[in-house]
Amino acid sequence: MDKRLEEYDEQNQTNPPFNDAIDHFGKIEGYPTQNLSRVNMKGFPLPIRILGYFFLGTMGVGMIMVLLLTLFK
């Protein structure tokens, strides 16, 4: 375990990963390890942003419609 901690010190990481699986996701698969709750929509390409806004808008309007239809039935 000491060797593993020394490896992280050599990489100048401020936050060592929680376990080996998280380390694998971060290094090999590109899984983000910091700021998981924040998604920067401006960083995505324009077609993906438009698709994301469309799906979020559709879900929002759908939930409001279901709520209104159940209240005024």
CA pair distance 53, 66, nearest whole angstrom = 20
Least Cα distance to 39 among 48, 26, 47 occurs for: 48
pLDDT at 50 over 60: yes
- For the chain, the structural domain boundaries read 1-38, 40-73
Predicted confidence band of residue 57 (pLDDT cuts 50, 70, 90): very high
What is the structure's pLDDT at 19? 75
Taking a C-beta distance cutoff of 8 angstroms, is the pair 52, 44 a contact? yes
Q: How confident is the model at residue 66 (pLDDT cuts 50, 70, 90)?
A: very high
Across the range 47-64, mean pLDDT stands at: 95
Work out the average pLDDT over 47-53: 92
Report whether 33 contacts 22 (CB < 8 A).
yes
pLDDT tens digits for 21-31?
777 777 777 66
